[in-house]
């Protein structure tokens, strides 16, 4: 509903010829965290919460962030923090000599930012998709994905490709089982009768750029390098964990062993989760969610007290089947699978408990699984 209202507001302003309204979703990740930049597997899905953009031809390049009440004229050198994602795409167009018609753009969102639901990729992918249409670049989705991944790296995060693949290719009521080695994916039906995927936003805002995220990604590269030298193989963790067993990593330091062991186990969890979802094995889905969180908390060490509190709460609640932190970590959101007839009661209870512990309430959202980025309207 809220999305419809935002679209109508954008349509009332962007109503001239050659105006475009774009919806670019956020994503959840069922399981497979920090596996994408390690060439593993993950199981994300695009969600209804989204960024909405309206673009119209104009005599100057201007971008307005409605929710922040901030604007950026692209010749201004002082930039709001969100401008970095637009700039990265404009830089790409410049570098490739692609035509760009002068536009005025407004964006707003039902997707919260900094909540681990991929709002930055949603902006990047949505803007790239819009320019591709508006300027008839005719770049196919696969290539747009790789452009968006590179553009986001320029903004300082050494992330993977999970977010961009799910935002471009999301499919209503399906998750994408992504093989991050070759970026191929399969659609997996994700609706579970009588259960609701639910997001709880800790409201502890993290920024991937400022966090330990890059540090984890660098450590994993170092592990891959050490393994390559030790075993005489290509520098690629996928090869490491497909060919060698845990007992063979005695030459790694303690933290390195923990990280590698998490990555190996998490990839196994993705495969197990896919089977459990396809067979609707609810209890196994719940256990995999909880064990995924244990790995992120203890071995990969990217959780935080607020996320741990939410998962511990879910473990004690009869309404919750399973839960885990989601995304880069250090704040953001957790994903919970809740019995459908208990969602209201669960929301109230977890919000109250969280508020008593931390002094403020979390935001709770239904995770309705949606299509990927789409053109809503063209005048
Ligand atoms: C962030 C990154 F952008 C993704 O690529 C992924 O690594 C995720 O954290 C962790 O699984 O969303």
Write down all domains in the chain, each with its CATH number in brackets.
Answer: 2-190+370-378 (3.30.230.10), 195-366 (3.30.70.890)
For 4, residues 6+ apart whose C-beta sits below 8 A from its C-beta are: none
Measured from the CA of 35, which atom of ligand 1 is nearest? 11
User: Is residue 44 lining ligand 1, measured as CB closer than 6 Å?
Assistant: no
User: Is residue 362 lining ligand 1, measured as CB closer than 6 Å?
Assistant: no
User: Is residue 40 lining ligand 1, measured as CB closer than 6 Å?
Assistant: no
User: Is residue 113 lining ligand 1, measured as CB closer than 6 Å?
Assistant: no
Instruction: Return the residue whose CA atom lies nearest to atom 5 of ligand 1.
Output: 160
What pLDDT is recorded for position 210? 58
What pLDDT is recorded for position 207? 59
Catalytic residue check, 163 = yes
Out of 163, 173, 182, 308, which one is annotated catalytic? 163
**What spacing in Å lies between the alpha carbon of 378 and ligand 1's midpoint?**
32
The candidate with the shortest Cα–Cα distance to 242, out of 311, 179, 331, is 179
User: Is residue 332 lining ligand 1, measured as CB closer than 6 Å?
Assistant: no
**The two three-digit tokens of residue 173, written as one number:** 């009521």
**What spacing in Å lies between the alpha carbon of 34 and ligand 1's midpoint?**
6
The candidate with the shortest Cα–Cα distance to 158, out of 36, 242, 289, is 36
Q: Which helix (H) or strand (E) holds 52?
A: strand 44-57
Helical H segments across the chain, by residue range: 2-13, 83-95, 119-134, 141-154, 162-169, 213-231, 237-243, 254-278, 282-294, 305-316, 343-358
**What spacing in Å lies between the alpha carbon of 203 and ligand 1's midpoint?**
18
What pLDDT is recorded for position 26? 98
Single pTM value for the model: 0.96
200: left (phi over 0), alpha (psi -120 to 50) or beta: beta
User: Is residue 106 lining ligand 1, measured as CB closer than 6 Å?
Assistant: no
Measured from the CA of 42, which atom of ligand 1 is nearest? 11
User: Is residue 82 lining ligand 1, measured as CB closer than 6 Å?
Assistant: no
Instruction: Return the residue whose CA atom lies nearest to atom 1 of ligand 1.
Output: 328
**What spacing in Å lies between the alpha carbon of 224 and ligand 1's midpoint?**
19
User: Is residue 183 lining ligand 1, measured as CB closer than 6 Å?
Assistant: no
Instruction: Give the residue, out of 327, 329, 330, 332, with the most ligand 1 atoms within 8 A of its beta carbon, to mutate for a pocket test.
Output: 327
Unique residue bearing structure tokens 């959202």: 365
pLDDT by residue for the chain (379 residues), tens only, comes to: 588 999 999 999 999 999 999 999 999 999 999 999 999 999 999 999 999 999 999 999 999 999 999 999 988 888 899 999 999 999 999 999 999 999 999 999 999 998 999 999 999 999 999 999 999 999 999 999 999 999 998 877 788 999 999 999 999 999 999 999 999 999 999 999 999 999 999 999 765 555 688 889 999 999 999 999 999 999 999 999 899 988 899 999 999 999 999 999 999 999 999 999 999 999 999 999 999 999 999 999 999 999 999 999 999 999 999 999 999 999 999 999 999 999 999 999 999 999 999 999 999 999 999 999 999 988 8
**The two three-digit tokens of residue 145, written as one number:** 């994905």
């Amino acid at each position: 509903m809220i999305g419809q209202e935002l679209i109508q507001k954008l349509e009332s302003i962007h109503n001239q010829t050659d105006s475009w309204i774009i919806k670019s979703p956020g994503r959840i990740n069922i399981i497979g965290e920090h596996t994408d930049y390690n060439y593993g597997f993950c199981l994300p899905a695009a969600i209804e919460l989204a960024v909405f953009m309206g673009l119209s031809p104009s005599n100057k390049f201007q971008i307005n962030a409605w929710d922040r009440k901030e604007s950026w004229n692209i010749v201004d050198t002082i930039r709001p923090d969100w401008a970095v994602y637009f700039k990265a795409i404009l830089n790409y167009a410049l570098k490739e000599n692609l035509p760009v018609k002068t536009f005025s753009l407004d964006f707003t969102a039902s997707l919260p930012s900094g909540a681990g639901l991929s709002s930055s990729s949603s902006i990047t992918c949505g803007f790239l998709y819009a320019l591709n249409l508006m300027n008839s670049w005719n770049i196919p989705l696969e290539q747009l994905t790789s452009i968006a991944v590179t553009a986001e790296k320029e903004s300082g995060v050494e992330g993977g490709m999970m977010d961009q693949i799910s935002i471009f290719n999301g499919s209503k009521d399906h998750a994408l089982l992504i093989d991050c080695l070759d970026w191929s994916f399969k659609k997996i039906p994700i609706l579970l009768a009588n259960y609701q995927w639910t997001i709880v936003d800790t409201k502890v805002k993290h920024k991937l750029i400022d966090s330990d995220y890059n540090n984890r990604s660098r450590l994993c590269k170092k592990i891959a390098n050490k393994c390559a030298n030790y075993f005489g193989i290509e520098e690629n963790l996928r090869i490491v964990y497909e060919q060698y067993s845990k007992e063979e990593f005695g030459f790694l330091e303690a933290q390195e062993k923990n990280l590698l062991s998490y990555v190996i186990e998490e990839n196994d969890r993705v495969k197990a989760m896919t089977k459990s979802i396809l067979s609707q094995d609810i209890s196994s889905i719940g256990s995999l969610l909880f064990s995924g969180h244990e790995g992120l908390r203890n071995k990969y060490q990217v959780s935080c007290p607020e996320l741990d509190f939410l998962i511990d709460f879910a473990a004690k609640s009869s309404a919750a089947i399973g839960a885990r932190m989601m995304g880069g970590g250090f704040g953001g959101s957790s994903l919970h699978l809740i019995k459908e007839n208990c969602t209201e009661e669960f929301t109230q209870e977890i919000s109250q408990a969280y508020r008593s512990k931390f002094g403020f309430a979390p935001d709770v959202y239904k995770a309705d699984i949606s299509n990927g980025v789409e053109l809503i309207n063209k005048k």
